[in-house]
Amino acid sequence: MSSVIAAKPVATTADETPKIVGGEITAPSQEIDGFQLVIDALKLNGIDTIFGLPGIPITDLTRKLQAAGLRVISFRHEQNAGYAASIAGFMSQKPGICLTVSAPGFMNGLAALANATTNCFPMILISGSSEREIVDLQQGDYEEMDQLAIARPHAKAAFRVLHAEDIGVGVARAIRAALSGRPGGVYLDFPAKLFPQTIDAEAGRQSLIKVVDPAPRQIPAPDAVQRALDLLKGAKRPLIILGKGAAYAQADADIRALVERTGIPYLPMSMAKGLLPDTHEQSASAARSYVLPEADVVMLIGARLNWLLSQGKGKTWGGKSAKHWGGQKFVQIDISPQEADSNVRIDAPVVGDIGSCVAAMLGAMGSKWPKPPAEWLGAIAERKTKNVAKMGESLAQNPTPMNFHSALNVVRDIVKANPDAILVNEGANALDFTRSIVDMYKPRKRLDVGTWGVMGIGMGFSVAAAVVSGEQVIAIEGDSAFGFSGMECETICRYNLPVCVVILNNNGVYRGDEVNPTGGRDPSPLVFVKGARYEMLMQAFGGVGVLARTPDELRKAMEEAIRSRRPTLINAVIDEKAGTESGRITSLNPAAKKKP
């Protein structure tokens, strides 16, 4: 008897004529091609959105993806599509997918892939590529490049699929690599010849893999948990630092319970803001410069002692003048055992996924836990009160033209009134002032430049945040930072996304009053066109553009953008003398150190 494939074929060869074999009529041969196998592999694993830019050799793939019901968000530049995919992974705990063309398109996406790996965002960059036999002999194929070799140093893993029957394995391995352990960026190389390849439809279906438990729980050792608790319990000046890894873990309730049950002051890193409201009484953000050097035991939850925390040493931590310099003890909760001792001694490493580690600590704490000494809490409260009052004085001023404080005081109020809105933030001074002025109230609502401090994430992050969440997005941009991705305003308008972009425009990089020291006709490299009308860019694509010169104009425009949910760009003109070179990280700029 002949076998008849019951499943409806998704792709067939041209030969669909029934054949007589041994006197019996057989079913027509049915085959599936590489295009459909890629689509089915992604859908099987719950991937429903693709960020990318069509072109050779993946144009037809984008068409077929959309026809199959996946949402394809097409950008104007691959780097921005990659940033979108990476932050979608952070928000959803599913790998964000970026699809690019070969060679130059791949290279454009590579910056975002490297950023995803550095920031531990799960992302898969899928790029079409030239044919191996020509690339390997360097015979000059169209956009010839050994993309796999180039991607490997910048990705957590990299794979190439040459045969249609291996597409399922390639996609599965990429998903597992992106999500398991410490998340990161993965590269998946699809040569052009892969897509039209065909195999038997049933064999193709069987070749696909639905990844089971791609990010398995990693339970910490009980003795490691107890060691950490003993160290915290004996501390006189304990401090908890929450990193974006804690936000990614989505263990929000347990993290809050741990903080509140211990009574330990906490310091959220930038993208961890909102895990607990910034207005929480245990927040030590307003006393950061005091608590870091004075704490005797510091517990890191999903935070790394990298440059953002001065590697756990140096002036940020008080240097040799601090009471505990060189004697501070650290507890570190991290999924990677290699992270411990990477900069300073970690006295109590707790290795495992953050959700399991925090749950284990809560379970082992017992019903009674001693609160930190009143002297420590009182000293923090005193400094918080002083610094908050000082900030309040700055926010209350209303200079003409606006400065960062008066403009961001408006943003602060808008975010407070709309706590579900997602705040995207980049720039130098625009980043630093927004981080310190604008309070966050819910987790994963603040998305910014992260560990690499990379500029250009703004519009890509904004598009992804709107697509993934459906919530209002507010992007606070320095005028320089906006320039990296400003053309994506067209993308925002094309998909009619609820994104309100606010450009803090001071006419230049850091500030706009620098002059050419030679007196020549060329402007300073740090200065832009005076009076640039950025708002007209959004108007050009059918969105709303507003020029705001006062806090009242800015407030009115932001409120209307949120009410209407229309794509909006507000050109908020601020004093061109506002801002300092390199912002908060002037210490990393040798030239800026020498300036008076």
Dump pLDDT digits (tens) for 129-171.
988 888 888 888 888 899 999 999 999 999 999 999 999 999 9
Other beta carbons within 10 Å of 321: 8
- Would you say residue 383 has pLDDT above 80? yes
Query: How far is the C-alpha of 90 from the C-alpha of 120, rounded, in Å?
Result: 8
d(CA 493, CA 490): 5
CA distance 446 to 415: 11
Can you tell me the distance from the alpha carbon of 541 to that of 552, in angstroms, rounded to the nearest whole number?
A: 26
Does residue 501 contact residue 486 with C-beta atoms inside 8 Å? no
List beta partners, residue 52.
Answer: 74, 99
pLDDT of residue 526: 95
- Better-predicted residue by pLDDT, 134 or 458: 458
Mean pLDDT of 103-119: 97
Alpha-carbon gap, residue 167 to 194, rounded angstroms: 9
Burial of residue 396 (CB within 10 Å: 0-12, 13-18, 19+) is: exposed
| Partner residues linked to 547 by β-bridges | 571
- What pLDDT is stored for residue 345 in this prediction? 95
What integer is the mean pLDDT of 86-98? 98
Q: How sure is the predictor about 7, in pLDDT bands with cuts at 50, 70 and 90? A: very low
pLDDT band at 81 (very low <50, low <70, confident <90, very high): very high
Instruction: Provide the mean pLDDT of the chain.
Output: 93
Per the CB < 8 A criterion, the answer to whether 558 and 570 are in contact is yes
Query: What residues contact 320, with CB distance under 8 A and at least 6 apart?
Result: 326
250: left (phi over 0), alpha (psi -120 to 50) or beta: left
pLDDT at 288 over 70: yes
Residue 15 has pLDDT above 90, yes or no: no
Looking at 25-29, 348-352, 398-402, which range is the least confident one? 25-29
d(CA 555, CA 280): 26
Residues near 187 by Cβ (< 8 Å), separated by ≥ 6? 113, 124, 125, 127, 147, 148, 151, 152, 155, 157, 158, 159
Which tens digits make up the pLDDT trace of 301-311? 999 999 899 99
Which of 88, 84, 74 lies closest to 494, judged by CA? 74
> What pLDDT, on the 0 to 100 scale, is given for residue 12?
41
Percent of the chain with pLDDT over 70: 92
How far, in whole angstroms, is CA 481 from its chain's centroid?
16
Least confident of 5-14, 25-34, 288-297, 358-367: 5-14
Q: For tokens 């790996």, name the residue.
A: 117
pLDDT tens column, 444-455: 999 999 999 999
Q: What is the pLDDT of residue 9?
A: 37
Q: Please determine, for residue 28, whether its predicted confidence score (pLDDT) is greater than 80.
A: no
Instruction: Inform me whether the pLDDT recorded for 4 exceeds 60.
Output: no
Task: Say whether pLDDT at 27 is over 60.
Answer: no
By the 8 A CB rule, do 185 and 155 touch?
yes
Nearest CA to 126 out of 207, 37, 186, 36 is that of 186
**Sign of torsion over alpha carbons 190, 195, 201, 203:** negative
What is the DSSP track for 159-227? EE--SGGGHHHHHHHHHHHHHSSS--EEEEEEEGGGTT-EEEHHHHHHH----SSSS---PPPHHHHHH
Whose CA is closest to 97, among 187, 194, 176?
A: 187
Confidence of residue 325 (pLDDT cuts 50, 70, 90): low
Closest CA to 120 of 171, 173, 217, 186: 186
User: Mean per-residue pLDDT for 241-267?
Assistant: 98
CA distance 51 to 75: 7
* Nearest by Cα to 181 from 152, 215, 219: 215
The dihedral through the CA atoms of 572, 577, 579, 582 has a sign that is positive
The answer to whether the beta carbons of residues 75 and 463 sit under 8 Å apart is: yes
Looking at residue 419, its pLDDT comes to 98
Average pLDDT over residues 114-130: 97
What mean pLDDT comes out for the span 294-300? Answer: 97
Q: Is 165 exposed, middle or buried (0-12, 13-18, 19+ CB in 10 A)?
A: middle
Q: Whole-angstrom Cα distance, residue 194 to residue 33? A: 9
- The whole-number average pLDDT for the span 286-310 is 95
pLDDT at 25: 59
Distances in whole angstroms, Cα of residue 559 to Cα of each of 23, 96, 411, 447, 563: 77, 31, 10, 21, 6
pLDDT attached to residue 144: 83
- Burial code (b: 16+ CB inside 10 Å, e: under 16) for 419-432 equals eebbbbbbbbbbbb
Using pLDDT thresholds of 50, 70 and 90, give the confidence band for residue 321. low
Single-letter code of the amino acid located at 544: V
pLDDT-derived band at 3 (thresholds 50, 70, 90) equals: very low
Confidence (pTM): 0.93
User: How high is the pLDDT of residue 136?
Assistant: 85
- Residues 558-596 have pLDDT tens digits of 999 999 999 999 999 999 999 888 766 776 776 655 554
The residue behind tokens 């791949």 is 106
**Degrees to nearest 5, angle at CA 15 with 10 and 16:** 65
Cβ partners under 8 Å of residue 213, min gap 6: none
Strand partners, 159: 188
Q: Are 45 and 211 in contact (CB under 8 A)?
A: yes
Decide: 465 and 418 in contact? Cβ < 8 Å: no
Which segment of 31-45, 244-258, 307-321, 428-442 scores lowest on mean pLDDT? Answer: 307-321
pLDDT score recorded for residue 582: 74
Locate 476 and state its tokens: 């606070």
